[in-house]
C-alpha cells in the first residue's frame, strides 16, 4: 500500500483506518495501547497546527534536520517497529477513554485537512525537523500514520 498524505483526497482513507481500530486491538510491535496511539497521533496534529505551548524551537541542528527529513520521510518511509522513540512531548503516558480519543483524533484530522488546504504555506515547528509548511506536514502525517497502521495491523 502506498503512503497517502493526510489531505482532502485521502481523508476518508485515513478516517476509515482509524475507525477500524478497536480498543483491544493487538499491537504487532511497540508499547502503545490503541488509546495512547490515538492520543499520540492527535498530539502530532496539534503540534502541526501550532497548538502545543512549548514547541517552538528545533532541538536538532539544521543540517541534521534536512537529513532526517530525507531519510525518514522520503527514502525510508517504512520505519522499523519498536526501534524509534518519539520525543517525550508527543509520547503520552496516559490517554482518555478509547472512543473519546478516537473522536478527538478524527476531529483533529478534519481540522488539519481544512487548515492545510486553506493555508498550505503556513509554517509551524517540529522539534526534530524544524519549521515545516502545512503542505509538508500533510506528507509527514501520512508517513507517521502509516507507521501506526502497520503497528496495529490496519493495512
Does a structural domain hold residue 44?
A: yes
- Domains of the chain: total: 1
Q: pLDDT per residue over 97-116, tens digit each?
A: 999 999 999 999 999 999 99
Does a structural domain hold residue 146?
A: yes
> Looking at residue 84, what is its pLDDT?
61
pTM of the model: 0.84
Cβ atoms of 4 and 111 closer than 8 Å = no
Dig out the grid coordinates for 155 from the structure: 493495512
Does a structural domain hold residue 5?
A: no
C-beta atoms surrounding 63 within 10 Å: 8
The whole domain housing 87 covers 11-151
CATH number at residue 46: 1.20.120
Does a structural domain hold residue 1?
A: no
Amino acid at each position: 500500500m502506498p503512503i497517502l498524505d493526510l489531505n482532502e483526497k485521502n481523508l476518508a482513507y485515513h478516517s476509515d483506518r482509524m475507525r477500524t481500530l478497536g480498543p483491544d486491538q493487538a499491537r504487532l510491535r511497540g508499547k502503545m495501547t490503541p488509546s495512547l496511539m490515538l492520543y499520540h497521533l492527535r498530539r502530532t496534529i496539534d503540534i502541526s497546527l501550532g497548538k502545543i505551548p512549548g514547541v517552538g524551537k528545533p532541538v536538532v541542528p539544521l543540517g541534521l534536520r534536512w537529513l532526517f527529513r530525507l531519510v525518514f520521510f522520503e527514502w525510508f518511509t517504512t520505519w522499523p517497529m519498536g526501534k524509534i522513540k518519539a520525543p517525550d512531548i508527543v509520547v503520552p503516558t496516559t490517554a482518555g477513554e478509547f472512543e473519546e480519543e478516537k473522536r478527538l483524533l478524527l476531529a483533529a484530522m478534519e481540522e488539519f485537512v481544512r487548515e492545510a488546504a486553506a493555508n498550505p504555506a503556513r509554517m509551524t515547528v517540529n522539534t526534530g525537523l524544524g519549521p515545516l509548511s502545512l503542505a509538508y506536514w500533510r506528507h509527514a502525517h501520512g508517513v507517521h500514520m502509516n507507521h501506526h497502521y502497520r503497528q496495529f495491523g490496519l493495512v
